[in-house]
Amino acid sequence: MEQQTFGLFSKEIQEQIAKFLETMLGNVAEESKNKGGKRYFKKKDFCEEIGISYGTLAKWLTKGLKVIHVEQITMIDMRDAEKFLQDHKI
């Protein structure tokens, strides 16, 4: 039986997911630059922009995705998100 990590996905599937997310986030970052360079996103807007659920974002935050807190607002820098995905690349 093939060893599975995270209990659900094989290493091959994890690699495919990581590549997909990296490509998608890179495309979003490039599109943002072309649309006037939007770099900072509120959590909800970030999820919508890159196509992930809020639950996935919550997991990424526990795994070290950096955020910016100013008063009552939490923002995510797209560059930090790109670095986070690079750091978790298999």
- For residue 51 the two structure tokens come to 């196509």
Check: CB of residue 78 under 8 Å from CB of residue 41.
yes
CATH T-level assignment (fold) for domain 10-87? Arc Repressor Mutant, subunit A (1.10.10)
pLDDT in the model for residue 51: 92
Cβ atoms within 10 Å of 88's Cβ, excluding its own: 15
Cβ atoms within 10 Å of 57's Cβ, excluding its own: 18
pLDDT in the model for residue 2: 44
pTM of this structure: 0.61
Q: CA–CA distance from 1 to each of 4, 6, 28 (Å)?
A: 9, 15, 37
Spatial separation of the C-alpha atoms in residues 1 and 83, rounded to whole Å: 34
pLDDT in the model for residue 4: 40
pLDDT in the model for residue 19: 81
Q: Average pLDDT across each block of 10 residues of the chain; the chain has 90 residues. List them in order.
A: 56 81 74 69 94 95 95 94 91
